[in-house]
Amino acid sequence: MARALSVRGLSTVFPSPQGMLTAVDGVDFDLAPGEILGLVGESGSGKSVTLRSILRLVHAPGRVTGQVLWGGRDLLALGESEFRKLRGREIATVFQEPMTALNPVLTIGRQIDESLRAHTRLDRRARRARAIELLDLVGIPAPGTRLGDFPHQFSGGMRQRAMIAVALAGEPELLLADEPTTALDVTIQDQILKLLLGLRARTGMGMVLVTHDLGVVAQSCDRVAVMYAGRIAESGPVAAVFAEPRHAYTRGLIGSVPRAGTERRPLLSIEGTPPGLGERPSGCAFHPRCGFATDICRTAAPPMENVAPDRLSACWNHAAVAAAREAA
């Protein structure tokens, strides 16, 4: 039976000479079986650290707290040996940069074989056949001859596909994909997205897709969660959030993307840059860059609340943001 993921109060902190720095700050979200959630935001918003925290890949002196419920079990409370059996088998990941995630001195076939040995009971011959099947599944031509190649012998798009093959070796129910299309040309990007959607349709696998590309979210995701300064600013179904954002940050992100039929209209921009970990302002972290900010935004952090059916927003002025979108 497919399982759901429920993240509650996930926080990740790192010590520094300035004190404890919070990279992920009380993140909550749910993922239904077979659903794709897009996690979006600017660089430094905490997206990748959120995925690493779920997988318990944040090591000391970093500290992760909260709950990550998977099939009724809290992953953060499991023993290390028990969690290692689960990681890669039930939950797998595709890292952001395959050239650093793949081992440069091991062949692609060896790296797939390592995952198969860890998570299946196949013998050597069956593992080779399964490795060829996986490379074929992700669209690598002549897969039998490419098993002996090293990562540097693959193009960027093929390395990304090989990473997906490694992740799929354990037949996971959940895939955490950290910007799997970053730095790829649009043709390869489209192929990777179609591959992931095809795998979801074929296996029923759920997915959390980290990206900063709203086009990728619109094309592939069921729901979207917008992150800023370590917190989720807004979440909901993709179509509803894009049609009527309820947070000023979401509105700025959407407004910065060119749309068909608006060639002569200026794009919106978000002035300034995201705050560093040790530079988070009081109140709403977005208020120094926000055109809707009022006094309360500067002094009190907005709670996450229901602002419409199946919609959550952490913005004191979400009604004004929605009205501005309608007026535009």
Predicted pLDDT of residue 232: 96
Contacts of 119 (CB under 8 A, 6+ apart): 88, 89, 169, 170, 171
What are the boundaries of each domain within the chain?
100-171
Predicted pLDDT of residue 18: 85
Predicted pLDDT of residue 156: 83
Contacts of 136 (CB under 8 A, 6+ apart): 143
Predicted pLDDT of residue 11: 97
pLDDT one-digit tens code per residue, 37-60: 999 999 889 999 999 999 999 988
Burial call 299-321: b when 16+ CB within 10 Å, e when fewer: eebbebeebeeebbbbbbbbeeb
Q: Give SS3 for 21.
A: strand
To which residue do tokens 């419920």 refer? 69
Predicted pLDDT of residue 262: 59
Predicted pLDDT of residue 326: 59
Q: Are 166 and 115 in contact (CB under 8 A)?
A: yes
Whole-structure pTM value: 0.90
pLDDT < 70 regions, the chain:
1-2, 183, 259-265, 325-328
Q: Are 21 and 278 in contact (CB under 8 A)?
A: yes
Q: Are 312 and 256 in contact (CB under 8 A)?
A: no
In DSSP terms, 91 is beta-bridged to 87, 174
Give the number of residues written for the chain. Answer: 328
Q: Which of 20, 29, 14, 5 is nearest to 232 (CA)?
A: 29
